[in-house]
Structure formats: structure tokens, C-alpha cells
């Protein structure tokens, strides 16, 4: 049978990336709120981090401010912190998932593995579906913005 | 409440996913499928009906058998959206990458590219 996959395969995402920066710096950028605020969230979003306790059971409260003024509250709890190695956090606001970020030193570079596990396939599908709707909306807003820019040049 | 039937709803149920898996490689008749599960034949019939409504399977009558075959092309819609969602996270890592390299260059007193 081909369906010999683990029982998490249909509710997880795994991304990997090698960053051209030493592991200490990557760790710093991931664990300090003033840094996170600079890169978290989609293009055009800004972030406010009111709480970020990098320790087991530490809370992490992050609000993303969308370009249209919408606020997206994100509440997470850190489940595991291994300095320069691993961060596990549980996103407790919707959508619920557990994210595991692993850091591995590769000389002057750092390899990053980012794994997200959703509670169930149903939830994952729901998220993807919602995202699909959001994405469609975002693209529409994007198109409108583009259009307005074009129009204002005339 | 009758939900609108689409491919997402079809795969949202574990039994339906198992049915798809079962017939993904070769068509089976409804009785064979039902024999594989602990739920009633009626329940399986309903799942098959939903899968057919969602366009994920074709049911053909062959003599006294009802043969179910998978239409996996329909499932690609989901994987396309999963890919988009993945892209959303990839772009987050893009931003991280850009930022961390910029910071590194600033600290090394180099011009960032």
C-alpha cells in the first residue's frame, strides 16, 4: 500500500531554509521582540508584541496590524526552549497548531527547519480553506490598490 | 443544515479519506468497500454519495455491482491551496532571511546589498 504515511502527514507543513547568518544572530532575531516585529507577518503588516517570555510555558502575545487597519491577535505559549537549538510554541488562538523551529549551525550559516502541526486534518483543511478565502480577498485589495495607484497617476 | 458540498468537505471526514485511499489505485464495488469498514453499509453508501457529489469519485453500475473509481484530479485543488498556504509561510522566512542578513551586514560594518 502506498498510504503508509505517518498519521500526521495530512495535517502538517514543514519548511527548511539555510540562512546566511551565524546561529547566534538567527537565534537573537527569533527571540527578541524588537527584532521579531521587523520581520513577522505578511508584507505591509506591522506588529506589536506586548509579551514574549522565552521560557517554558512563557506567553507570547503578538498583534499583527494589517494594511487595512485590521488587527489580528495571536496568542501563543512556548512549550520548549533550547537555546540555539529549538523553539516549540503552541498557537493557542485560532488556528490552533504547534510550531517547532529547529536551528542547526553550519559554519557561518544556519539551517532552519520550521514545522507546523495542526490538531487534525479537518482543522488544517479549514485553515487552508480560510486562507484561500483570505488570499482571494487580499489579492482583490491588492488589485484595487494597484488600480488606484495607476488611476492617480493619470 | 446542509453544507455546500465541495472537495474540502469530502476530505474532511476520516472514513471518506480512507475510501478514497482504498480506491485510489483500483476501482472497487460498494460491497467490497463496505466490508472494509466497521460502520454500517448505509453509512458507507452515504459517504460514497457525498464523494460522488463532490466529484471525487465516479460510481458506475455494472450488472448488479456498483463500481467506485477515484477521480484524483479533483484533489489537486486542495494541494494547490496547501501550496499557497505554504508559500505564505515561506514568505515569512524570506523576510526573516532578508532581515537577518541585513543585520549581519550592519554589524560587520558592511554595506548591505
DSSP track, A56-112: TT-EEEEEEE-TTS-EEEEEEEEEEEETTTEEEEEE-SSSPEEEEEEEEEETTEEEE
**In this predicted structure, what is the pLDDT of residue B112?**
46
Instruction: Name the pLDDT band for A8 (thresholds 50, 70, 90).
Output: confident
**In this predicted structure, what is the pLDDT of residue A141?**
61
Distance (Å) of CA B113 to CA A67, A110, B54, B88, B102: 27, 19, 50, 24, 8
Contact (CB<8Å) A129/B8: yes
pLDDT above 80: residue B68: yes
Tell me, yes or no, whether B40 and B81 share the same domain.
no
Helix (H, G, I), strand (E, B) or coil at B53: helix
The domain that holds A95 is classified in CATH as 3.30.530.20
Question: By residue range, what is the domain housing residue B29?
Answer: 7-70
Contact (CB<8Å) A41/B92: yes
* Integer Rg of chain B from CA: 23
Any chain B CB within 8 A of the CB of A127? yes
Q: Which residues contact B25 (CB under 8 A, 6 or more apart)?
A: A2
Residue B2 lies in a domain: no
Contact (CB<8Å) A125/B78: yes
Which cell goes with B42?
448505509
Chain length of chain A: 154
Average pLDDT, integer, range B20-43 = 92
Contact (CB<8Å) B8/A43: no
Residue B1 lies in a domain: no
Say which residue the cell 465541495 belongs to.
B6
What's the helix, strand, coil split of chain A in %, to 5? 35, 40, 25
Which cell goes with A85?
537549538
Domain count of the fold of chain B: 2
The domain that holds B39 is classified in CATH as 1.10.10.10
Average pLDDT, integer, range A72-87 = 96
Tell me, yes or no, whether B66 and B79 share the same domain.
no
Any chain B CB within 8 A of the CB of A144? no
**In this predicted structure, what is the pLDDT of residue B84?**
79
Any chain A CB within 8 A of the CB of B102? no
CA distance A16 to A18: 7
- pLDDT, averaged across chain A: 85
**In this predicted structure, what is the pLDDT of residue A1?**
35
**In this predicted structure, what is the pLDDT of residue B110?**
64
How many beta carbons lie within 10 A of that of residue B68, not counting itself? 23
User: How close A137 gets to chain B, by Cα (Å)?
Assistant: 14
**In this predicted structure, what is the pLDDT of residue A153?**
67
Tell me, yes or no, whether B82 and B54 share the same domain.
no
Any chain B CB within 8 A of the CB of A132? yes
Helix (H, G, I), strand (E, B) or coil at B88: helix
Global pTM exceeds 0.85: no
Tell me, yes or no, whether B46 and B90 share the same domain.
no
CA distance B56 to A8: 22
Contact (CB<8Å) A131/B85: yes
Which cell goes with A105?
549551525
Tell me, yes or no, whether B56 and B92 share the same domain.
no
Chain length of chain B: 113
Residue pair A85/A63 in contact (Cβ under 8 Å)? The answer is no
Average pLDDT, integer, range A30-41 = 90
Contact (CB<8Å) A25/B100: yes
**In this predicted structure, what is the pLDDT of residue A3?**
39
Residue B45 lies in a domain: yes
Q: Which tens digit of pLDDT belongs to each residue from A92-137?
A: 988 889 999 999 999 999 999 999 999 888 788 888 877 766 666 5
Tell me, yes or no, whether B45 and B15 share the same domain.
yes
Which cell goes with B71?
477521480
Tell me, yes or no, whether B32 and B83 share the same domain.
no
How much of chain A exceeds pLDDT 90, in percent? Answer: 53
pLDDT above 50: residue B1: no
**In this predicted structure, what is the pLDDT of residue A154?**
60
Question: By residue range, what is the domain housing residue A97?
Answer: 14-152
Residue A7 lies in a domain: no
CA distance A83 to B99: 20
Tell me, yes or no, whether B79 and B32 share the same domain.
no
pLDDT above 90: residue B113: no
From chain A, the residues in CB contact with B8 under 8 A are 125-126, 128-129
**In this predicted structure, what is the pLDDT of residue A5?**
44
CA distance B66 to B56: 16
User: Least CB-CB distance to B89: which of A19, A35, A114?
Assistant: A114
Nearest CA in chain A to B103: A25
Amino acid at each position: 500500500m502506498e498510504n503508509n504515511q505517518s498519521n500526521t502527514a495530512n495535517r502538517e507543513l514543514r519548511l527548511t531554509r539555510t540562512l546566511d547568518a551565524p546561529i547566534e544572530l538567527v537565534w537573537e532575531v527569533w527571540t527578541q521582540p524588537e527584532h521579531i516585529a521587523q520581520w513577522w507577518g505578511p508584507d505591509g503588516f506591522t506588529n506589536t508584541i506586548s509579551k514574549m517570555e522565552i521560557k517554558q510555558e512563557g506567553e507570547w502575545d503578538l498583534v499583527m496590524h494589517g494594511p487595512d487597519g485590521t488587527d489580528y491577535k495571536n496568542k501563543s505559549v512556548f512549550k520548549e526552549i533550547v537555546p540555539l537549538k529549538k523553539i516549540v510554541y503552541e498557537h493557542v488562538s485560532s488556528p490552533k497548531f504547534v510550531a517547532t523551529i529547529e536551528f542547526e549551525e553550519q559554519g557561518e550559516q544556519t539551517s532552519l527547519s520550521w514545522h507546523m502541526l495542526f490538531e487534525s486534518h479537518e482543522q488544517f483543511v479549514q485553515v487552508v480553506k480560510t486562507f484561500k478565502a483570505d488570499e482571494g480577498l487580499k489579492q482583490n485589495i491588492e488589485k484595487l490598490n494597484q488600480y488606484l495607484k495607476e488611476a492617480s497617476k493619470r | 443544515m446542509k453544507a455546500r458540498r465541495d472537495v474540502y468537505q469530502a476530505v474532511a471526514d476520516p472514513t471518506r479519506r480512507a475510501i478514497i485511499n482504498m480506491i485510489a489505485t483500483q476501482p472497487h464495488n460498494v460491497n467490497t468497500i463496505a466490508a472494509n469498514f466497521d460502520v454500517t453499509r448505509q453509512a458507507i453508501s452515504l459517504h460514497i454519495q457525498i464523494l460522488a457529489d463532490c466529484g471525487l469519485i465516479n460510481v458506475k453500475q455494472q450488472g448488479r455491482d456498483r463500481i467506485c473509481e477515484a477521480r484524483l484530479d479533483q484533489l489537486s485543488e486542495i494541494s494547490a491551496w496547501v501550496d499557497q498556504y505554504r508559500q505564505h509561510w515561506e514568505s515569512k522566512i524570506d523576510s526573516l532571511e532578508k532581515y537577518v542578513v541585513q543585520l549581519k551586514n550592519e554589524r560587520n560594518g558592511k554595506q548591505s546589498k
